[in-house]
Amino acid sequence: MTWTRSSLRETCRFLILMTLFLPCETTSSVLSVNGKTENYILHTELDSHESLECAVQNHTSDEELLWYRGNGRVDLKSENKINSSSVCVSPIRENDNGVTFTCRLQRDQSISISVVLNVTFPPRLSGDEFQTAEEGSDVWLVCNVHSNPKAQMRWLRNNSTLALEDNYQIQETSVSLQLLITQVKKSDNGTYTCTAASPLYTETKDFHLTVKDKGPIIPIEAIIAACVVVFLTLCFGVVARRKKIMKLCMKRQDPQNGTSL
């Protein structure tokens, strides 16, 4: 009997210790947007409508949610904050491309999930269409492009790919295609076409260049020197005739002498 009680005590003590050292499973809230629990890129198009629904999973009590567009807070109605919250982007515009929408837990904003918008749109070209240059000068033709995905750019002349001659140089950036024509000649007159090809569309824009005769070179330094000489000559002339001019002025100022009878 004594052995049995002792054994029971030891068994209970062992079970208590085992219970204390058992790993405790803790539940933490997880956010999801449109059913996804990881940050992701949302591919969309111009003029479409996108709805982002953020929901709290594994919550034991009501949780308030916050939405951010970039660094700016999105205003939400009171009924659109607790446990689930939606924002609608409508219609999708070009300036929505690359924008990040983030849903955060209000009580712990380190718990968040983000969605980046990738808006596809066809190329849009702009630039100065008409340019006039003197023969022998340098000319820049700048074709600005706005496109997603990035368009393949090139210059054409007379509907043929522009041959890169000694006086033609092409520079491309993420937002423009530039053509530099150095020491332009009359033979450079004409229409240059900028083309931008993307999987969505191919856009073109014409640039018209007129090369005029080189004007006569005006000798600026010689003109300035001549003006200085004329000015100094006039000054010397005035100084040389100063006495005569002063006598004439004094004579005009003297009163007439007369005797009354």
Tell me, what's the pLDDT at 217? 56
Residues pairing with 54 in the sheet:
33, 85
Tell me the pLDDT tens digit for each residue of 193-218: 999 999 999 999 999 999 998 866 55
| Cβ-Cβ contacts under 8 Å for 253 (sequence gap 6 or more) | none
Mean pLDDT of 136-161: 94
What are 205's two structure tokens? 């824009």
Is 165 in a helix, a strand, or coil? coil
| Cβ-Cβ contacts under 8 Å for 136 (sequence gap 6 or more) | 183, 184, 214
pLDDT at 252 over 60: no
Tell me, what's the pLDDT at 261? 37
Tell me the pLDDT tens digit for each residue of 23-75: 443 448 899 999 999 999 999 999 999 999 999 998 889 999 999 999 999 99
Q: State how far the Cα of 247 lies from the Cα of 188, in Å rounded to an integer.
A: 69
Q: State how far the Cα of 242 lies from the Cα of 24, in Å rounded to an integer.
A: 115
Tell me, what's the pLDDT at 72? 97
Going along the chain, which residue ranges are E strands? 30-33, 40-45, 50-57, 65-69, 72-73, 84-89, 100-105, 112-126, 130-134, 139-148, 152-157, 160-161, 168-172, 176-181, 190-197, 202-212
Q: Of 81 and 22, which is predicted with more confidence?
A: 81
Q: State how far the Cα of 133 lies from the Cα of 211, in Å rounded to an integer.
A: 5
Asked if residue 131 lies in contact with residue 212, where contact means CB atoms within 8 angstroms, the answer is no
